[in-house]
Structure 1
């Protein structure tokens, strides 16, 4: 079965949904295909600075997100820690019904005249007049454009979120600590949720930790060194189900400068285009 679409966006992450919403605000319909069976909320939260809020305002969702996330103390900048699930749900709720098609993994792309024929894992195909790849670091569209896989930087990131039913009591600040070979940051998203991250160089224990969030948690606690008790307690309080371990990858700047970020009616955005490490993101 082959359907014809004016604009197909691959990936219903932040970049894909924001692109779809931006087009919708301009009166242009798009179809977003997503490999997962629902919204991908992995990652818990992330920092957003002034320029990000300008982008959120441009697509009309800045104000409702401000109301749900604390303004952190950064002179001259708008600086908040936004929960990923909240952002994705806000984006998708602003889109017309049927914009996102889940359980639709792209398996191949081929030319079909001026259009692109996008083959999906369920056996169906989409004939796209415009194709936009927003499908992350393992992007099928980026591969079609001829880019190499992003490079591993030799570091891993552990991320998590702690929830305090009666409030955490932390000031709206960005807490950051360095120990031998590791870095920890913690930021309040709102009055009850704290997002944290922990980065470290490659370890022989990585495979073991990938299989057990509980062991990941113990590894972190053993590496934190002399940090305030209330900050250590954030990690201790975090449920293992709210902890993920990920390798950090990025695309070399010269690959972006010299590569084909667009070709005829195909382009890429988000992590599919320029994956970076969190400290330079």
Structure 2
């Protein structure tokens, strides 16, 4: 796997973005003997950022990528109250977040000044344990930020085109979703395993084929990847979409309708963690 800036070079597999899904997607074909190049805006690998929760299905994907055992030795149990989470990164560094209903951050209310972000957060968690308030109080201002949660509506996943020629999407580019079930990063890892498997099968033994035949086989492999992932990410996106409506809406009627839909479509709310993306 290489890291390079964009240039007029030819590579069989080019991956745009060196985040969680991008690096996993590079690792998957690498383990199948396929070379790839990763194009990333940052000049170096970043050793900072937010924490990520990993559910059992994510660990299955990481095991297929060959890094599960090492990461298990570094993992920390995430604990936190509803709307507030904290994850120790090092002895002197903690990643924390506070999730707020949309109406509290709409329009002119959306905070940009770090001082106001800290002030607003402390006011909102004034009834939480003192140790949580102390951690936020001691946070450096330049480390604070507020952002809207982004998501892709479920119907976009049904109707959207996820492949064009020999180009496809994975991770947030395919299925950005709310954090309500902790599957955003995990589903990106699943994407990497499935894409690596489909590409390696499509590219196996194509050296003697013509360029047109090679392209046709790669496109067929990408179509298989999209087929395998579409219904999985549609289910996750629908689940997080409905929960997001319940959390963010101020209308009791809208909350009730979303709640009924959630109860009908997802009777087992934990079923998504039992998913297995299969072998690489």
- In which range does the TM-score fall when normalised by the shorter chain? 0.5 to 0.7
Q: Which residues in structure 2 correspond to 1:38-117 (within 5 Å)?
A: 38-39=44-45, 43-70=49-76, 72=77, 81=78
TM-score, normalised to structure 1's length? Answer: 0.56
Within 2, Cα distance between the matches of 1:206 and 1:44?
24
The residue that corresponds to 2:116 in the other structure is 215
Q: Which runs of 5+ in 1 are unaligned?
A: 73-80, 82-173, 178-182
Within 2, Cα distance between the matches of 1:213 and 1:43?
17
Q: Give 1:206 deviation, angstroms.
A: 5.0
Within 2, Cα distance between the matches of 1:25 and 1:55?
13
Alignment counterpart, residue 163 of structure 2, candidates 254, 262, 275 = 262
Q: What is the aligned length?
A: 173
The residue that corresponds to 2:128 in the other structure is 227
The residue that corresponds to 2:190 in the other structure is none
The residue that corresponds to 1:15 in the other structure is 21
Within 2, Cα distance between the matches of 1:68 and 1:44?
15
Q: Give 1:236 deviation, angstroms.
A: 1.4
More helix by share: 2
Within 2, Cα distance between the matches of 1:16 and 1:22?
10
Contact 1:12 1:32 (8 Å CA) reproduced: yes
Contact 2:126 2:133 (8 Å CA) reproduced: no
The yes-or-no answer on 1:28 pairing with 2:34 is yes
Q: Give 1:277 deviation, angstroms.
A: 0.8
Within 2, Cα distance between the matches of 1:39 and 1:199?
28
Contact 1:13 1:40 (8 Å CA) reproduced: no
TM-score, normalised to structure 2's length? Answer: 0.56
Q: Give 1:176 deviation, angstroms.
A: 0.8
Within 2, Cα distance between the matches of 1:61 and 1:243?
31
Q: Give 1:43 deviation, angstroms.
A: 4.0
Within 1, Cα distance between the matches of 2:93 and 2:156?
38
The residue that corresponds to 1:252 in the other structure is 153
The residue that corresponds to 1:184 in the other structure is 84
RMSD: 2.2
Q: SS of the counterpart of 1:247? A: coil
Within 1, Cα distance between the matches of 2:89 and 2:154?
31
Q: Give 1:29 deviation, angstroms.
A: 0.4
More strand by share: 1
Structure 1: 4+ residue segments shifted above 6 A:
none
